[in-house]
Amino acid sequence: MLTFFYSNVLIIIHFTLQTEEPLEQAVKFLSPLQLLAKDRIETHLMAFEIYFRRQKPLLMLQSVKRAWALDPKNPTLHTCLIRLALFIEQMKGAEGDVHPAVWEVLKSGLEPIMGSKPALELNASYLKENASHLPALLCGYKMLYLLDPSKQSECVSNVTRMDQTLTGVSLQNGSNFNWSQFTGKSFSQN
């Protein structure tokens, strides 16, 4: 049943993209998915992406916490954490516009996951802990580039190194990675 459910996800997403308000339709699609597939990390990562685009920090936090409970080492979850941390940093500039209770919930919700580390330090720790796992390196260096674009050459160098110590090396990992993030052109453009 769950396989059938996920196979229809693409059909529903296709129709969602054809609407005037795709994010509203995505939320309508997400609600039953959160009930029927709450034990799948992909559900919560998808929820994060929707709420990130809608700029809903408390719902982003909820998605991150649920995903964290399922797989705290997931590389995609790491990208969500860093992006949430950056979003919160940007919100601090508009601190008067945000209710103090929202700040308190965000702070207390992220404390068990991130501690008091800033995003750059959290990412550096993640890269160090996962130095031999290719999917984690791809996501970690993508986040390093997001945090500090001046480190482009370091990021490209590290994600393209291939040695025998790396685990998780597969054609799928390499082809799913968005190389244009680092180079400004797609991989097929050479």
- How many domains does the chain fold into? 1
In this predicted model, what pLDDT tens digit does every residue of 137-179 receive, in sequence order? 889 999 999 999 999 888 888 877 777 777 766 656 555 555 5
128 falls within a domain: yes
What's the count of helices (H) and strands (E) in the chain, helices before strands? Answer: 12, 0
176 falls within a domain: no
49 falls within a domain: yes
Tell me, what's the pLDDT at 190? 38
Tell me, what's the pLDDT at 23? 66
167 falls within a domain: no
Q: Tell me the chain's radius of gyration from C-alpha atoms.
A: 18
The string of DSSP letters for 70-111 reads H-TT-HHHHHHHHHHHHHHHHHHTTGGGS-HHHHHHHHHHHH
Tell me, what's the pLDDT at 170? 63
In this predicted model, what pLDDT tens digit does every residue of 55-90 receive, in sequence order? 999 999 999 999 999 999 999 999 999 999 999 888
* Global pTM value: 0.77
pLDDT surpassing 50 at residue 188: no
Domain that holds residue 52: 17-93+103-159
178 falls within a domain: no
Q: Mean pLDDT of all residues in the chain? A: 79
| Cα(170)–Cα(40) distance, integer angstroms | 22
* CATH code of the domain containing 52: 1.25.40
Written as six digits, the tokens of 156 are 């490209």
Question: Helices 75-92 and 41-54, interaxial angle, to 10°?
Answer: 20
170 falls within a domain: no
24 falls within a domain: yes
Written as six digits, the tokens of 24 are 């509203």
